[in-house]
Amino acid sequence: MNSLKLFLIFSKVSSLTIGGGYAMIPVIEDFLVKKDKILNEEEFLDIISKAQTVPGVIAINTAILLGYKLCGVPGAIAAILGSAVPPFIIVLIIASLFNKFSDNKIINGFFLGARVGVTVILSNLCLQLLIKYKKNKLSLVVTFMGALSIVFFHLPSVLILFVVAIIIIAMEKGKKYV
């Protein structure tokens, strides 16, 4: 495994997967664990859980950790470039076209529907998270109130992020988390 190969693997993954970081994980696994057998399942899972623990773009976190593990600092840089450059170029092309066609009736119709599609995806994500965290009922109530205060009282998201975290820590002290 060298840096160039890492760059190519991560460019393939990032230019083929649609739907963000979570969608990339199984594809990366396919390349590195199943096809090339560079990592075993356990090493891969360890990296994925670290990548999801810290803030930031999950795909980038994964790229940094895997690249560093396989080829050191040059590997990490190659993996970052591989996962950021192809989407960057694709979005640039779309953004430049977008301005030309933003008054078009068909394009506007498309976005009218596509935005509903985005709402569907997000609602489904909320439902899944609700199920995932269903044991922490009180925390969920606090979480929900936090969301309402962002939307209706226009409080900053950053503030709510930390206030909700502090309330949960205070409320469920000593409890076990899964």
Taking the least distance from each CB to other proteins, the nearer of 37 and 162 is: 162
Name every residue whose Cβ is closer than 8 Å to that of residue 147 and which is 6 or more positions away in sequence.
160
Taking the least distance from each CB to other proteins, the nearer of 37 and 132 is: 132
DSSP state of 34: I
CB 70 within 8 A of CB 48: no
* Minimum distance of other proteins from residue 172's CB (angstroms): 8
* Minimum distance of other proteins from residue 26's CB (angstroms): 12
Q: Distance between alpha carbon 19 and the CA centroid of its chain, in Å?
A: 9
- How far is 145 from 135, CA to CA, in rounded Å? 17
* Minimum distance of other proteins from residue 11's CB (angstroms): 10
Taking the least distance from each CB to other proteins, the nearer of 18 and 100 is: 18
